Amino acid sequence: MKPQLNSMPLQVCISNYFQTHYFSSWQEAVKYLYQSNRIGNELNRLIQYNVVMRDILRQKGIEALLDEIFAIVPKNSVDVRLIQLIIRYWTENPIADYDIQMYHIDDDITILGHTFHGLQDVRQHCEMTASVRSQLHCFPTKEYIPLKNIHIGEIYESYPIFDSYDYSDNRCYENYIFASKPITQKLMQQYANLKHECNYCMVHEKIPTELLPVLYYVGEGPYMVLATKKSQN
């Protein structure tokens, strides 16, 4: 059974396409990844998608953070080339002054003062969706539950089609935006013009602060990631 995020002093969340685990300290999370032979695959996500790790990275820098990690687990547990790639990534992509936190898709998340009970709850309040291919196509949501002071839009991109078997695949990369005023096509276009990373992920280190918060779901699996201003958490 998945532990409830708000019922424990969460520090760190680790999730992949199959499982989600919570830890009260980043040290426990690092030890778990090492013991389960997952530290090489998930180390950078651990750093980027957990507020406590981001705060240490912002304060001390990536090499000092890695030194602290490898004081707990053997350095040779991570391929030296991967370590170099992580250092290069954070050198070329300085950490932003906002929070990014990973959650299970059923976790409670508080955004602009409202607590949503998981990803499905966010979807139920979405008033406009937009698909992205060669251009943006916006569609008002026919049935949604309005909120008093929060408006939600979704910008998505369908999974790529490689052969005829993919035509039945309805999965999408999902980005949710939140505003205090009704969502307009102009606002959706403003977000659609933003830089995005692999798998149409709009949660990264280069989000303009005025456009936070942004919630991202990769379209399958049990986790989502939320970028918010520091003052919100």
Write out the residue range of the structural domain in which residue 121 sits.
106-232
Query: 131 and 70 in one domain?
Result: no
Q: Tell me the C-alpha distance between 225 and 204, whole Å.
A: 10
Q: What is the pLDDT of residues 39-91, one digit of tens each?
A: 988 999 999 999 999 999 999 999 999 999 999 999 999 999 999 999 999 99
Q: Residue 164: is its pLDDT beyond 60?
A: no
Of the residues 36, 61, 95, the one at which a domain ends: 95
Domain annotation covers residue 28? yes
| Residue 128 · residue 154 · CB < 8 Å | yes
Q: Residue 8: is its pLDDT beyond 50?
A: no
Integer angstrom CA distances of residue 197 from 27, 164, 202, 203, 215: 28, 26, 7, 8, 14
Q: Tell me the C-alpha distance between 217 and 118, whole Å.
A: 12
Domain annotation covers residue 145? yes
Domain annotation covers residue 100? no
Domain annotation covers residue 101? no
Q: Which residues 6+ apart lie within 8 Å of 36 measured at CB?
A: none
Query: 146 and 226 in one domain?
Result: yes
Q: Residue 233: is its pLDDT beyond 50?
A: no
Q: What is the pLDDT of residues 45-54, one digit of tens each?
A: 999 999 999 9
Q: Tell me the C-alpha distance between 112 and 37, whole Å.
A: 38
Report the domain count for the chain.
2
Of the residues 95, 118, 140, the one at which a domain ends: 95
Domain annotation covers residue 130? yes
Domain annotation covers residue 16? yes
159-170 mean pLDDT? 60
Angle at 181 between CA 148 and CA 133, to 5 degrees: 115
User: pTM of this prediction?
Assistant: 0.90
Q: Residue 5: is its pLDDT beyond 50?
A: no
